[in-house]
Structure 1
């Protein structure tokens, strides 16, 4: 498993937070008592769930010890964090009121197996809310067979989630948004993905091989997303799904 660097991930914290807040704003579940954030990362956004739902026990789950070490100081009697793998999470049926997964389910294979588990965890009136990237420059570049453990994204077409979650008894609100992030600095698109999608590739390589790979990716991204006087534009498409058990 690739290690995660909380500092690198947080370099574009404001841009990464915006989809989270726009996702959570569409949750209509009232007075939840159990809230879970799957793939909580450094916990800063998870902490906002504790503020939004002051009467709920909020649990953040992440597979990265590095991220959880960053999150640990945020823990309170209301807010806790736990080491765990999303694919292996098996909550009790009907035990959760709100499940949030912000840019994390793209790391979980077999969404056909995952969706029934998440849906079954929801109590009456509970909501599953997630957003995932739907492509991007790094995936486009790496999929043809560049070294690394990642294959094709497990993310399905938007209508697939509507059909699948509807069949599981949920009412589904789904939409797509393409953000046009304006990033500052040198090689900002490389820096963006160095905190997320490139982590498994970097972990699989070392020494001169890693240096060569990083240089090739950087050159590709500079050509595709040239720096302009005001910064570098990174179009980033995302799929949002908010599904409620009524």
Structure 2
């Protein structure tokens, strides 16, 4: 895929940062030495970590040069570097690994997360949030449009896999953690209209579908997708639409 766009991602900064705030509120640490923001993106979540843990060394990691450049400008109080979330484990002395909406992109994350917890010191925390929205119309319709057009063969494996059941995460993490908390939250984002939903997912879930397409194909795909989105998300009394967005939260204490 092409590099991530900080500008596109930050069009919905408040909505995207809200789950990070909610996750951070459940982190049972007061004075960690080193905090890592895995998949830091443009630094909106890193900023929260620096504000809460002012005495800690805060490190933001990502594999997107564009996101890291934005984060470096935004959060001068942290340092940033490149890392592959599928292979990375924390170095000694890391008390918190904070991961807001990154591990859903790692196909083998169910094996990766226990390794991250096992590398933490006693009392260390892994805090994870992942979108759990593959059954929502926004993502079902991506797959349907992909399967019904001239691009069907090329986009056959574009969709990311749905998240495993909650019990599967618990059983995977429990051997390495003395406490595992898992919950879901459902956000209902009031957006300007169907076009705003398309803009939202263009910078995230829709990228694997449109990146392989030519400019003309991309325009055709997005046009068909917008038509389906407008049907699935009717306008409210004030003209806005509600984007229902389930998210999975995990806090594991070593």
**TM-score (norm: length of structure 2):** 0.89
Residue 70 of structure 1 and its aligned partner are, at CA, apart by 1.0
Aligned residues: CA RMSD:
1.8
Cα distance in 1 for residues equivalent to 2:68 and 2:188? 30
In the other structure, the counterpart of 1:80 is 79
| Match for residue 105 of structure 1 among 103, 115, 121 | 103
In the other structure, the counterpart of 1:244 is 253
8 Å contact kept, 1:111–1:155: no
Aligned residue runs from structure 1 range 1-246, under 5 A = 1-76=1-76, 78-92=77-91, 94-135=92-133, 136-143=136-143, 146=147, 147=152, 148=155, 150-153=158-161, 155-185=163-193, 187-230=195-238, 231-245=240-254
Cα deviations by residue, 1:5-56 (Å, 9 ceiling, x for unpaired): 1111111111111111010000012210110111111012202201211111
SS of the aligned residue for 1:37 comes to strand
Count, aligned residues: 243
8 Å contact kept, 1:95–1:121: no
Cα deviations by residue, 1:42-101 (Å, 9 ceiling, x for unpaired): 01220220121111111111111111111121343x411112221121333x53101111
Cα distance in 2 for residues equivalent to 1:72 and 1:167? 36
Residue 221 of structure 1 and its aligned partner are, at CA, apart by 0.9
Cα distance in 2 for residues equivalent to 1:48 and 1:90? 22
SS of the aligned residue for 1:123 comes to coil
Cα distance in 1 for residues equivalent to 2:207 and 2:80? 22
Change (3 A) 1:112 1:194: same
Residue 185 of structure 1 and its aligned partner are, at CA, apart by 4.5
Unaligned residue ranges in structure 1 (runs of 5+): none
8 Å contact kept, 2:90–2:97: no
SS of the aligned residue for 2:235 comes to coil
Residue 179 of structure 1 and its aligned partner are, at CA, apart by 0.8
